[in-house]
Amino acid sequence: MAEVLVFHHGHGLTAGVREFAEQLQQAGHTVHVSDLFERRVFDSLEEGMRYVEDIGVGTVIARATAAAEGLPAELVYLGFSLGVLPAQKLAQTRPGAKGALLLEACVPVAEFGSAWPHDVPVQVHGMDADPFFAREGDVDAARTLVETAADAALFLYPGDRHLFTDSSLPSYDEQAAAQVSHRVLDFLDLIK
């Protein structure tokens, strides 16, 4: 079974993120959920991103790095949207990473100053018409990652919703989220 560190999206640590993490735990994986917003949850993504602007993306990544410090090195990092930044950074730069699951975002590998580690498998999930994922360069970064990494997959789902995997938000897409959950669990089952 895998050990997973989960990072939430720009709304904060919502009930939907907790529920997703619980699904992984019920499947037998050890799951840690980091609260990068220190118990703040925002009704809108705009409010959450204003908070990120106020504290700085560097603070978000520093909080995520601190959350990982007390855990074993052999982690799978899972990020939802904003949470992809620390998940991807830690998977790329923290020795011992076992995998990365990047949901609804992906940044160019060069953002963190190194090539994708050869021995770290990665999956990227997003909707094909999501204005944030498909139209702001994330899908292009994901395609490049898949082309260059040894073990990488990109899964595109039909639709234009951002944060479709969070059951507590209006953007939730039950069918697509179920596919993501299934693929994530299959990925985790292969982690040794």
pLDDT digits (tens, 9 = 90+) for 114-144: 789 999 999 999 999 999 999 889 999 999 9
Q: What is the CATH number of the domain that holds 38?
A: 3.40.50.1820
Q: Note the pLDDT of residue 22.
A: 97
Q: In which residue ranges of the chain is pLDDT below 50?
A: none
Q: Note the pLDDT of residue 136.
A: 87
Domain span holding position 56: 3-189
Tokens of 50: 């204003």
- Ranges of beta strands (E only) in the chain are 3-7, 30-34, 76-80, 99-103, 122-127, 152-157
- Give the long-range contacts of residues 76-79, CB within 8 A, separation 24 or more: 76/2, 76/3, 76/4, 76/5, 76/100, 76/101, 76/187, 76/188, 76/191, 77/4, 77/5, 77/7, 77/101, 78/4, 78/5, 78/6, 78/7, 78/103, 78/184, 79/6, 79/7, 79/103, 79/105
- Tokens 């640590």 belong to which residue? 13
Q: Note the pLDDT of residue 115.
A: 86
Q: Note the pLDDT of residue 164.
A: 97
Q: Note the pLDDT of residue 97.
A: 96
Residue 46, SS3 per DSSP: helix
Q: Note the pLDDT of residue 121.
A: 97
Total domains, the chain: 1
